[in-house]
Structure 1
Amino acid sequence: MSLDKPYTDVPGTTIFDADMSRMGYHLNQFCMSLMKAENRARFKANERAYLDEWPMSEEQKQAVLDRDLNRCISLGGNIYFLAKIGATDGKSFQQMAGSMTGMTEEQYRDMMVKGGRSVEGNRYTGEKK
């Protein structure tokens, strides 16, 4: 039985709920495997072969290979798990977040220091201003 999800009405926002958790379970478990040095080394040596050990969808695997974190999120990835990919690549969370917003790390940092994104365009679609 599907539950009512009024929170799906926020433009540009993917909510990590139980359904997303189920969809991304193996993707997120792959990410957690990168906490071990030997797994990071195996992944970096042959990313495709390592990904093929996980029962993820082809779309999820390709999103990882492309380092398309926004796509990973839309396929059930949780940002806190996906951060392990960035760490494996030697990237900070700030660098990852910048890439996800189409900004440089510096632009992203400056935006956040100034208070983050404007709420304009980031409300519920049905919400009145």
Structure 2
Amino acid sequence: MSKVRDNYVLDVSAGRRGYALNRMCGSLTDPENRRRFLADEAAYCDAYGLSPEQKRAILERDWTAMLDLGASIFYTVKLAMVDKKSVQDLGAVFTGMTTEEFTATMRAGGRRFG
């Protein structure tokens, strides 16, 4: 995935690289798939053909690595929801803040870039 001024850009190259990862995360919208994933996360990753790096990122919940490996935040959040994490929790991880700090920053109008 490309980075433009501290922002990830999901371009064609990243989309191709992250296809299996995004497909797997997207599958977690189905309750039966969530059950199967939680029963054996590694096997579920293997069933979707994740690369070793993608699988490691999923199993370790390395959210930033997922984006580096081509994941889209729109699909990654599906996995976060399985872990009962919010979009604010992920935003905090990506910005190096606590969830409370991130939420307060967003309520105050967000970060300003100069």
TM-score with structure 1 setting the length? 0.81
Amino acid at match of 1:100: F
Q: How far, CA to CA, are the matches of 2:75 and 2:3 in structure 1?
A: 24
Give the match for residue 24 of structure 2. 30
- Structure with larger Rg: 1
Which ranges in structure 2 are unaligned for 5 or more consecutive residues?
none
Amino acid at match of 2:87: F
Q: Give the CA RMSD over aligned residues.
A: 1.4
Higher RCO, 1 vs 2 (CA within 8 Å, ≥6 residues apart)? 1
| Contact 2:3–2:9, Cα closer than 8 Å, also in 1 | no
Count of equivalent residues:
113
Q: How far, CA to CA, are the matches of 1:13 and 1:100 in structure 2?
A: 10
Is residue 2:84 matched to residue 1:115?
A: no
Q: Deviation of residue 10 (structure 1)?
A: 2.8
* Identity over aligned pairs, percent: 40
Amino acid at match of 2:105: M
Which ranges in structure 1 are unaligned for 5 or more consecutive residues?
1-7, 121-129
User: Which is helix-richer, 1 or 2?
Assistant: 2
Amino acid at match of 1:39: N
Q: How far, CA to CA, are the matches of 1:48 and 1:9 in structure 2?
A: 29
TM-score with structure 2 setting the length? 0.91
Amino acid at match of 2:21: L
Q: Aligned to 1:14, what secondary structure does the other structure show?
A: strand
Give the match for residue 101 of structure 1. 95
Q: Aligned to 2:47, what secondary structure does the other structure show?
A: coil
Q: Aligned to 1:112, what secondary structure does the other structure show?
A: helix
Is residue 2:60 matched to residue 1:90?
A: no
Q: Deviation of residue 97 (structure 1)?
A: 1.4
Give the match for residue 125 of structure 1. none
Give the match for residue 58 of structure 1. 52
Shift >4 Å, 4+ stretches:
none
Q: How far, CA to CA, are the matches of 2:3 and 2:80 in structure 1?
A: 29
Is residue 2:15 matched to residue 1:21?
A: yes
